Amino acid sequence: MPLERKARRIQATVVVTLLATMLAAYLVTLGNSPFVGKILRYLFFLPIVMAALWFGWRGGLATAMLATVLYLPADPSEDAAVEAVDLFLIGSIMGVLADRERRKRILLQQATRELGAAYDQLQDNMIRLRQAERLSATGQLAASLAHEIRTPLASIEGAAEMLNGDIAPALRSEMTGILRKESRRLSRLLADLLNYAKPRRPEFTESDVRDVVSAVVILASPSARQHDVKLHFAPPTSPVPLYCDGQQLQQLLLNLTLNAVQSIPNGGDIEFAVERSAGLVVVRVADTGPGIPPDQRDRIFDPFYTTKPDGTGLGLAVCSQIVDAHNGKILILSREPHGTEFVVELPVRPETRP
């Protein structure tokens, strides 16, 4: 406030000084040059307008009255009297307009402050909401992990108790197989959990998507043969360059492929396709399995959500992380008459997306 008072004193000084200077010039030229005096009388509008803009209608009227009192006795002509009325009108009108503009500016500043406070409150609420979501996700993750670990541990405990007694060699071999199977399941669960909880940052290099998909076909072939599933890939004739982490892209497509292989119960086909479109590279993995019910499509990328008896529920969650790290999208489409198609869309350069 002291600064505002100082500024107003300076403004008042400017108005009074300008008015006094013009009055002195007017009085000097009044008798010698009536034409110049008339021009100076018109210029009395300038300090009045300045006072109206700075101090409102009261300042405009006060300055107009002061100017009239100062110059009108020296020139009591009819023209001077008419111009005095004009001075009062200009001072009043400009002051009213200035006051209205000042009120609008004050309301705008107040609204800006309120919006700023609301924005700060919204930011705080968003931070609290994210914290609550993280705590909720952590709780769900812990509950799902406990559920996933409990089943193999129960099998291991039961098999160990039976092995502790005197059992037939065939049953002993069966229990030993259960121990190995459930141990591998726990090891796979731990590996998937580490990949999901602490994903590796992508190391972007120039890759040819044809080579990545061909490597996935080779890696998935043994599992496909066991399930009587045929893999089909016709690479494009020209290179399909993509700036990406080739290992992570391979892991993504391999997870989708193995997931598709395990979903086909009695043999079938999986087709791969690579396309380029408007700054994107699109990779399609389509199978002839039973398909994914609509009510499950929104959940299959959630951690530990699985419909397979020996699945960890983390493979597709890791896929979603990899796609997000590459600024891409992954879509699920139904195929007619049956089957599922995963569509992976990745920008050619990860920092931009059409």
What pTM, to 2 d.p., does this model score? Answer: 0.50
Does residue 335 share a domain with residue 221?
A: yes
Single out the residue in 117, 143, 170 at which a domain terminates: 117
| Model pLDDT, residue 290 | 78
Q: Which of 41-45, 217-221, 262-266, 325-329 has the lowest mean pLDDT?
A: 41-45
Single out the residue in 70, 97, 117 at which a domain terminates: 117
Position 331 in a domain: yes
Pairing of the two strands 268-277 and 241-244? unpaired
Share of the chain above pLDDT 70, in %: 68
Mean pLDDT of 235-255: 88
Confidence of residue 10 (pLDDT cuts 50, 70, 90): confident
Confidence of residue 148 (pLDDT cuts 50, 70, 90): low
| Model pLDDT, residue 123 | 82
- For residue 102, CA distances in Å to 58, 94, 99, 193, 284 come to 14, 12, 5, 62, 62
Mean pLDDT of 237-244: 89
What is the total count of domains within the chain?
2
pLDDT, tens digit, 9 for 90 and up, residues 294-346 = 766 666 666 655 655 555 556 677 788 888 888 888 888 877 667 888 899 99
CA angle, residues 288, 290, 294, in degrees to nearest 5: 120
User: Which candidate, 94, 10, 18, places its Cα nearest to that of 52?
Assistant: 94
Q: For residue 151, list its beta bridge partners.
A: none
pLDDT, tens digit, 9 for 90 and up, residues 65-92 = 777 766 666 666 666 666 666 676 777 7
Position 184 in a domain: no
CATH number reported for the structural domain that contains residue 340 in this entry: 3.30.565.10
Does residue 212 share a domain with residue 106?
A: no
Position 131 in a domain: no
Does residue 105 share a domain with residue 209?
A: no
Q: Helices (H) and strands (E) in the chain — how many of each? A: 9, 7
Position 142 in a domain: no
Does residue 227 share a domain with residue 340?
A: yes
Q: Rounded to a whole number, what is the distance in angstroms from the first to the last CA of the chain?
A: 52
Does 96 or 332 have the greater pLDDT score? 332
Does residue 213 share a domain with residue 106?
A: no
User: Which candidate, 321, 198, 193, places its Cα nearest to that of 248?
Assistant: 321
Mean pLDDT of 273-287: 88
**Residue 233 backbone dihedrals phi, psi, to 5 degrees:** -150, 120
Q: What is the DSSP letter of 351?
A: T
CA distance 57 to 60: 5
Position 162 in a domain: no
CA distance 18 to 329: 69
The token duo for 312 is 């960890």
Position 182 in a domain: no
Q: Which of 109-113, 129-133, 244-248, 285-289 has the lowest mean pLDDT?
A: 129-133
pLDDT, tens digit, 9 for 90 and up, residues 27-52 = 667 656 666 666 766 666 777 777 77
| Model pLDDT, residue 211 | 92
Position 276 in a domain: yes
User: Which candidate, 251, 353, 341, 324, places its Cα nearest to that of 288?
Assistant: 341
Domain containing residue 78: 2-117
Single out the residue in 94, 117, 140 at which a domain terminates: 117
The token duo for 182 is 């459930």
Does residue 329 share a domain with residue 214?
A: yes
| Model pLDDT, residue 79 | 65
Does residue 327 share a domain with residue 217?
A: yes
Does residue 225 share a domain with residue 332?
A: yes
Does residue 96 share a domain with residue 219?
A: no
Does residue 212 share a domain with residue 336?
A: yes
Position 127 in a domain: no
